[in-house]
Amino acid sequence: MKTLNISISELEFDKFGIKKDRLTFTELIDIISKEISRQTLNKCIELSEKYGLSKITMKEITNEVKAVRKNAKNRN
């Protein structure tokens, strides 16, 4: 097994909720994945508000998805 040392600031250490000085690679990937998911969700929220989609209902979303799927089937 190989060991990799990574230096991060105290701010980043706290930001990512890291509790210990040693992590497995799987734990590191999990922390990074959660942060990427959080950033992606925030970007989606920002864009939905920018384009007025934050007010769309679940029924409207379902209808949009159905329409897109129907159009995709018709193109093949």
**So where are the chain's domains?**
10-75
Along the 76 residues of the chain, how does pLDDT read in single tens digits?
899 999 999 999 999 999 999 999 999 999 999 999 999 999 999 999 999 888 889 999 899 999 999 998 888 7
Q: What is the pTM of this model?
A: 0.66
Tell me the one-letter amino acid at 39: Q
| 44 within 8 A of 50, measured Cβ to Cβ | no
Q: Number of helices (H) and strands (E), helices first, in the chain?
A: 3, 0
Tell me the one-letter amino acid at 75: R
